[in-house]
Structure 1
Amino acid sequence: MTTGVSRVGRSATGRRALPLFAVAMESTWRSLVGWCVGLTATLCLYLPLFPSIGGGQQMQQLISSLPRELVRTLNYDQIGTGPGYAQSTFFGLMGFVLTTIAVITWGAAAVGGDEESGQLELTLAHGVTRSQVVLERFAALVVRVVVMVLVVFVVVLALNEPSQLGLDTGHLAGMCLEFGLLTLLTGSVALAAGAVTGRRVWGIGAGTAVAVLGYVFNALGNQSEDLQGLHAFSPYHAVFGPNPLTAGADGGVVLAFVVAIAVIVALAVGIFSRRDVGR
């Protein structure tokens, strides 16, 4: 069976312009398909329920009976509207969890996982640069995120009318853009931590910390005015706090995420290019 390293060796001879990118996509396409199927199944499970429970009086009464702190923690305060229901149940909860797990797994393995297994030294021996390793594998991560977000956009759009959600197509596109950037930020942190430390576990830990702390700071900041300052440290709140499914994407938030991701990747390239590999 052909290994990833041997494929890199053949590609590095000039047959492919982006050999590491191509190998990364070839080796993970099955998992990408699996995550897309999972996201589709989750959407098909949750969104069609809105007409029966999300927009009914029964659901409103149930939410009203819950402790206000719990409702704010789960971002269920607008669950009675179509955009609020879609954001609360999928984008801000199950979709966030599924895509975060996927990108952290891919990001942590991109450099740190290869170094732990010993494949990275063999890859570098085939005439590719260290910056090329980070950048091409980051590019593969970007493509995977784009594919997942496009699947989400298409499926939500297809379910919008049958599920009586009343979503605006432009607002949905903005939501998907910010949702994808949030996901990519988490994956970029995992990739960078793996590249800096050479350990997959540190990549998983760093990416998980960004996702979990972002969610926790948002939940705590929702509890009272005294704690709202925590929102400034939550990328989760930056995306979901302004309710983009209702108000549309925020250009400032999009720019901030792009800049943050670029800085993280640049730091990963700079540090990885200077440290000893396999030490």
Structure 2
Amino acid sequence: MSSPSSEIFRRGVQIQQRTLIAWSAALVVLALSVVGAWPSMESSGALEDFSSGVSPDVAAAFGIDQLGSASGYLKGNLYAVLLPLLLGLMAVTATTALTGGDEEAGRLELLLALPVARRRVFLVRFLCVTFGLVLTSVLVWLSVYGSVVAFDMDVSGGGVAAVTLTVALLAVLHAGVAYAVVGFGFGRGPALGVAAGVLVVGYLLHAIGPMSDALKPLVNVSPWEWALGNDPLLDGVPWGGVALLVAFSVVVVAAGTYAVDRRDIKNA
């Protein structure tokens, strides 16, 4: 006989099944499309012409400063902006739907009637989101790595694994931000807005901060910088950044879990 926690987990995964399939399919197609375009782009020389027409600072801000190389192409077209942003949005929307959305709709009341602590219900829902992010990230990693091998690109498999790991942890952190906002009782809308805002502001600090004397001191507080500042695609796992991503994820999730246990649950 399954435990209440495992039943809550199973039900949470089942609820997000369709959106998880849609997100995973879209991101895998995106990854395959980006890598699949490499042979024709490399032979045409269009990448070098494009990057040469952009100032070095702007090119570095958007991750397109080394488009002529295989790793630079992969970074600029997939890992520098697009995949972290989309995976982060997936994390935020899934978290707010499974926590704040279900609470506001009154669906969580049925789960809270089970013999399990309220904080565990919310925490298991967050684990459902994390499971979906891990699954999607693994599929993207397999797609990219398989394509890199098929097209004989000069990109290390370890680098692909490292950057996929940091991007996934970046998404988990922003899911944790959304979870914490819901935990404090602010609802789905505010949670979505705050977490998405943190995602975008973090990117702007990471990308534009180095070009501004006023913003440069703030670059190192950006989760994007922790995840991608040391170029894991080339240099491997940035263990310091990974530690920061994990630590802050634990802090925000713990804060949200603590708060939800000490407030009234909303009714539909």
Could you tell me the TM-score, scaled by structure 2's length? 0.92
Matched residue count: 267
1:229-257 C-alpha deviation (Å, 9 max, x unpaired)? 22112111221111100000111111111
2:85 match: 97
Measure, in 1, the Cα distance between the counterparts of 2:106 and 2:116: 16
Matched, 1:18 2:42: no
Contact 1:42 1:94 in 2 (8 A): no
Q: 2:100 aligns with which of 112, 121, 144?
A: 112
2:142 match: 154
1:62-100 C-alpha deviation (Å, 9 max, x unpaired)? 211123443233121122221221122112222123212
Q: 2:216 aligns with which of 223, 228, 235?
A: 228
1:83 match: 71
1:9 match: none
Pick closer, same or farther for the CA change 1:225–1:249 going to 2, 3 Å: farther
Counterpart AA for 2:71 = P
Matched, 1:52 2:40: yes
Contact 1:51 1:164 in 2 (8 A): no
Amino-acid identity (%): 27
2:129 match: 141
Return 5+ residue gaps in structure 1 as ranges: 1-12
Aligned-residue offset at 1:16: 5.3
Q: Relative to structure 2, which stretch is displaced further, 84-93 or 22-31?
A: 84-93
Q: Relative to structure 2, which stretch is displaced further, 180-189 or 161-170?
A: 161-170
1:90-138 C-alpha deviation (Å, 9 max, x unpaired)? 1222212321221111111222111111122332123331111121111
Aligned-residue offset at 1:142: 1.3
Aligned to 2:15, what secondary structure does the other structure show? helix
Matched, 1:132 2:105: no
Matched, 1:259 2:247: yes
Counterpart AA for 2:22 = G
Counterpart AA for 1:202 = P
Return 5+ residue gaps in structure 2 as ranges: none
Measure, in 2, the Cα distance between the counterparts of 1:206 and 1:54: 40
Measure, in 1, the Cα distance between the counterparts of 2:89 and 2:252: 19
Matched, 1:240 2:228: yes
Measure, in 2, the Cα distance between the counterparts of 1:191 and 1:17: 18
Pick closer, same or farther for the CA change 1:17–1:114 going to 2, 3 Å: closer
Q: Relative to structure 2, which stretch is displaced further, 41-50 or 92-101?
A: 92-101
Pick closer, same or farther for the CA change 1:226–1:80 going to 2, 3 Å: farther
1:183-216 C-alpha deviation (Å, 9 max, x unpaired)? 1111111122122225110110121012101111
Aligned to 2:16, what secondary structure does the other structure show? helix
Measure, in 1, the Cα distance between the counterparts of 2:210 and 2:41: 25
Measure, in 1, the Cα distance between the counterparts of 2:42 and 2:237: 24
Contact 1:195 1:272 in 2 (8 A): yes
CA-based RMSD = 2.0
Aligned-residue offset at 1:15: 5.4
Q: Relative to structure 2, which stretch is displaced further, 36-45 or 225-234?
A: 225-234
